[in-house]
Every structure is written in C-alpha cells, then in structure tokens.
C-alpha cells in the first residue's frame, strides 16, 4: 500500500507542526512559523531551552514519538547524521509516531544515503520524508531568507511550499537524497569562497593596503559574491561570532568526501574540497571550533606567521 498524499492544504488553522532542533538555526526558524500563526509543538532534550518558544505559544512534547503523533508535519534540524538517525529512526523516534499521510522534513545537513533510508522507512509507515537542508546562516534564518534545497516527492515538496516560504526560497532538486547532495555542493562552493577571501585579505594586509578599500574594490568586480557580502566586513573587524559553527562545516565535508564510498558510486576527485576541509579543521585544532566560518582567515594568518 502506498502512502496517501495529503489532501488538506497547509494553513495556520489546520496544520499542526512539530519541530526538533532549537539551536542557532532552528530557533529563529521555529519562531517565524509561530509568528505566522501556526500551531507548533517542540521537542528538546533540554526543555529549558524551549522556554522562549513556549513564551511565544509553542507546546512541548516529551519525545520525538509523542511529537509526531500529534503533528501533521515534523521538521528536524539537528547536529548531523548520527543525531538524525537516532531522532528519526530510533525506537522512540519521529517515524515510530508518524501518522499515515504524515510528513517529516529533515533540514539538517546530513547524508544523502541516510535521507533515502528515511524516505523508504517513512513510506513503510504510509508517510512521507523530505530532505531539505538550508543555507544562509543565522541571519537568513531570522529574516526568512534561507536557501532551501529539497529532495523527495515533488508533490509533497509543493504541498509544503507555504511553510518553506516563511523560511526562505525553496528549490526542488530531485528525489530523496538529492537535497543533501545539493547542499554538499553548496558547502564546497561556499568554503572555497571563504578561503579565497581570507587569502585575498591576508595578501592585501601584507601589502600594506587599506582592507576596507580592498573589499570595496572586490565588491565592484566579478569576484563579488554572497560570501563576500556576508563575511567580508566581519573578517576585517575580527568579528568571529558564529552564524554557523566551523565544526559543523568540517562535519559537512566529511559527509561529502565519504559520499562516494558509502554509495559505491563512481569516484569523484574533490581536491579543493579536501584542502578546504584541512583548513577549517585547522580552526578546530586551534580551539576555534565554535567560531563562525569567517574565522578561517585566522588559519591563513597563522600559516603566514601572523598572530
């Protein structure tokens, strides 16, 4: 028997939403759904961290299973593949309580193969699963300007569009696991731009240039990009507060560089991604795992004897 497609359009008056993951990204995303008038139930391993959402009207569940039993759509945005496996597929996980026709949406940057496993398991429960990782850092989460890369059944992704529109812009990229594969590509491009910007500013500093003027010059030419807009001034001002943690990006690289092995597919050489992983791993080795991604400039500086 195939899972039934949802027949009731999503709306604040009828759709019950579950949310798991209230960290740097998840908390403002959940807040936006509450502000839009949706009923939201939250699960948090540390319930005290959900108090600010409860003050906005959120309910609290005592397990992912309990949450799923009372919701039509369940979102997760948590640490990484082991967390996703436990929270979604575990004995008291989301799928153990998912209702027929229910939908689980994982917005964590996770493994494409795990996304496909979850999709198959959800189908066995007569439900649906979508992998929809996001990009845009905490500012994008607060402002509803995230890039959402969705994989799964196209009709389900379309049905979810009223919720995605509250959080950002959703692009459907293919079947189960494709959202995660697209996000890996996003991380490869974004990290290469961060390293390039770090090297450019380090070089300009050694040449005695005014870094503010250098950045303005770069923004006026073809080298300009979103990474430069988000992180350029922060690098110059030594503002390394996180919009996303360096350690999470290293985790994402681990998923990408191991992707071929776990899927037994054709080998893809990713030398730039491997180098970027080493540089961001340098942040962790230097004790800066919880700094923002713009902190990679400190690794480039150390390589040049700049402390």
Residue 29, Cα to own-chain centre: how many angstroms? 11
- Let me know: does 149 contact 183? Beta carbons within 8 Å: yes
- Tell me the β-bridge partners of 20: 43, 76
Distance CA 225, CA 211 (A): 17
From 183, 213, 226, 234, the catalytic residue: 183
What tokens were used for 4? 């039934």
Residue 26: strand, helix, or coil: helix
Q: Give strand pairing partners of 40.
A: 17
User: CA 95 to CA 138: how far, in whole Å?
Assistant: 28
The closest alpha carbon to 197, from 58, 293, 68, 79, belongs to 293
- Reading the block at residue 56, the tokens are 């906005």
Compute the distance between CA of residue 300 and CA of residue 195 in angstroms, rounded to an integer: 8
234 belongs to the catalytic site = no
Residues carrying an active site annotation = 183
């Amino acid at each position: 028997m195939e899972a039934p497609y949802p027949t009731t359009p999503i709306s604040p008056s009828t759709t019950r939403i579950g949310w798991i993951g209230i960290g740097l990204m998840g908390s403002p995303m959940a807040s936006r759904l509450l502000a839009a008038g949706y009923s939201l139930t939250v699960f948090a391993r540390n319930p005290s961290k959900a108090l600010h959402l409860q003050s906005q009207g959120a309910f609290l569940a005592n397990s992912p299973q309990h949450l799923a039993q009372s919701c039509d759509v369940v979102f997760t945005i948590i640490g990484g593949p082991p967390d996703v496996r436990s929270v979604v597929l575990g004995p008291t996980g989301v799928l153990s309580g998912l209702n027929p026709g229910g939908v689980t949406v994982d917005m964590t940057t996770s493994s494409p193969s795990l996304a496909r496993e979850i999709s198959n398991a959800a189908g066995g429960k007569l439900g649906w699963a979508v992998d929809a990782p996001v990009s845009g850092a905490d500012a994008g989460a607060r402002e509803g300007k995230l890039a959402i890369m969705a994989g799964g059944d196209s009709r389900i992704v379309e049905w979810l569009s009223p919720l995605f529109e509250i959080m950002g812009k959703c692009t459907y990229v293919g079947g189960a696991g494709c959202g995660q594969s697209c996000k890996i590509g996003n991380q490869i491009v974004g990290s290469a731009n961060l390293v390039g910007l770090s090297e450019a500013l380090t070089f300009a500093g050694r040449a005695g240039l005014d870094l503010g003027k250098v950045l303005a010059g770069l923004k006026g030419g073809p080298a300009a990009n979103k990474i430069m807009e988000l992180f350029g001034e922060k690098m110059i001002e030594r503002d390394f507060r996180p919009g996303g943690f360096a350690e999470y990006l290293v985790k994402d690289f681990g998923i990408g560089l191991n992707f071929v092995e776990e899927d037994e597919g054709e080998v893809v050489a990713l030398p730039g991604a491997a180098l970027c992983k080493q540089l961001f791993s340098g942040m962790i080795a230097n004790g800066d795992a919880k700094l923002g991604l713009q902190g990679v400039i400190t690794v480039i500086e150390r390589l040049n004897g700049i402390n």
